[in-house]
Structure 1
Amino acid sequence: MEVSLEILALLFLVAGAAGFIDAMAGGGGLLTLPALLAAGVPPAQALATNKLQSSFGSFSASLYFVRHGLVNLKEMAFAIVCTYIGAATGAELVQRIDASVLTTLIPGLLIAISLYFLLAPQTRKNVDKKPLSPIWFALIIGTCVGFYDGFFGPGTGSIFTVCFVLLGHFSLVEATARTKILNFTSNFAALTFFLIAGLPIWKIGLVMAVGQFIGGRLGAKVVIAKGQKWIRPLVITMSMVMAIKLLWEQHQQWFLSIF
């Protein structure tokens, strides 16, 4: 499809902002997917193009965290494999099964994540209780959340982060860094299936990918520099926004009847 230079420039800026937010708290898709649809991209191609460009943002943030020593890829190797398998399975299955059940459950999960970060007095390593072992974390969390991202997607970053904090006992900065590794893994796995189907629009996707890469790098810098001071409120905000958006889409007529 033909897209004007003005629209491409706007999509580039939106992708940059989304990459910045995604690197810290997740939820950048709330900006990019509506922008693609507003630009006239058909829904299926919008989803595929969104995965294409978001993969660059998560890769950019992941690379920055690895280079600055916040993540050891060898230690996360099994979690990466499990996440890839889960996401690939979800991406394949979503083509055959209605995702409406997950759509109904996810707003409640996102609200719970928001409340946890809002009410928890501190988000830091928990030394009093034994964390979930890396193998079980990879098998359970990596596979299940990866499957969810391939199957549906909203809030994946927030879900990974809260699991790393609650079950892995990582600090919020460490959890955010590890989240981006697994989020990139699930993005890449789902993108593979979209590429096989020939759905992404390359011209739009690559322009947005540059914006995502830059935004993801800047967001990762802020994570290291500002830590919990910025991440915590962003996780709360993006989780609540995603929950409200999904609830509105599901129950729009009911809300309108009230007001």
Structure 2
Amino acid sequence: MLDMSFDLVMVLLAAGFVAGFVDAIAGGGGLITVPALMLAGVPPAQALATNKVQGVFGSATAAISYARRGLVDPRTQWRAALIAGLGGIAGAALVTYLPTDGLRLGLPVILIGFYDGLVGPGAGSFYMIAFVTLAGYGVLKATAHTKLLNLFSNLGGLLSFALIGQPLWLLGIMMGIAQIAGAALGARLAARIGARLIKPLLVLTSGALALRLIWDMV
């Protein structure tokens, strides 16, 4: 693990908790943790790899929580989950071949671009929109199915990164434990009120982090 102060590690754990909470409800948790890791001095590709480590914990917690509530049946979604996993493998493999400067300059633009009013935050929002518009699911059921696909895409991405040896495993696992707590709380809240209350907070938080990252590069 990089040489980090205790206070900085605590900030990253807090980011993991908030990301797990937000991601379980509205998606886009990685848009909190990736900028946080990069602001902590983790190189871009390694930040993405470490994000996959901790993201697996949160997405697994949320997926299991929703499955226990009967909102998603993994047995009927295994094909989509497999495709998501293969996509995660391919995407992570591509990242390892991109230059560091390109990633550093491109990530803030991508982070802000995801917040287009019609799209919403993060890859999870694309899944959610597809489930709502194509499958006719309600928002809560769409969120539950999204978490299952997120889990497998995270696992696929982590597999690629693990083979290359880039993740900061200890930091990722520590953040993952925080993600478990946040995701469990978020999934319970989502079952009650849905995602509509958390999305404005996610937009503000991730937008601020992305702008801070741009400011640090100037």
Q: TM-score, normalised by structure 1?
A: 0.70
**How far 1:170 moved relative to its partner?**
0.2
**How far 1:96 moved relative to its partner?**
4.1
**How far 1:248 moved relative to its partner?**
9.4
Instruction: Name the SS for the 1:74 alignment partner.
Output: helix
**How far 1:54 moved relative to its partner?**
1.4
Q: Number of aligned pairs?
A: 209
Q: 2:73 maps to which residue?
A: 72
Structure 1 gaps, min length 5: 115-153
Equivalences for 1:48-87 in 2 at 5 Å? 48-87=49-88
Equivalences for 1:11-160 in 2 at 5 Å? 11-96=12-97, 107=113, 110-114=116-120, 155-160=122-127
Q: TM-score, normalised by structure 2?
A: 0.82
Work out which of the two has the higher radius of gyration on C-alpha atoms and give 1 or 2. Answer: 1
| Structure 1 residues 190 and 234: CA distance shift in structure 2, 3 A | same
Counterpart of 1:78 in structure 2: which amino acid? R
RMSD of the alignment, in Å?
2.9
Answer whether contact 1:111 1:239 (CA < 8 A) is retained: no
| Offset from partner CA, 1:86-125 (integer Å, 9 cap, x none) | 222222234446786xx679827733225xxxxxxxxxxx
Percentage identity across aligned positions? 38
Structure 2 gaps, min length 5: none
| Offset from partner CA, 1:156-207 (integer Å, 9 cap, x none) | 0111111111111000000000000001111111111111111111221111
**How far 1:46 moved relative to its partner?**
1.5
Equivalences for 1:163-174 in 2 at 5 Å? 163-174=130-141
**How far 1:28 moved relative to its partner?**
1.9
Q: Distance in 1 between matches of 2:207 and 2:20?
A: 20
| Structure 1 residues 164 and 247: CA distance shift in structure 2, 3 A | farther
Q: 1:2 maps to which residue?
A: 3
**How far 1:29 moved relative to its partner?**
2.2
**How far 1:214 moved relative to its partner?**
0.6
| Structure 1 residues 244 and 35: CA distance shift in structure 2, 3 A | closer
**How far 1:76 moved relative to its partner?**
0.4
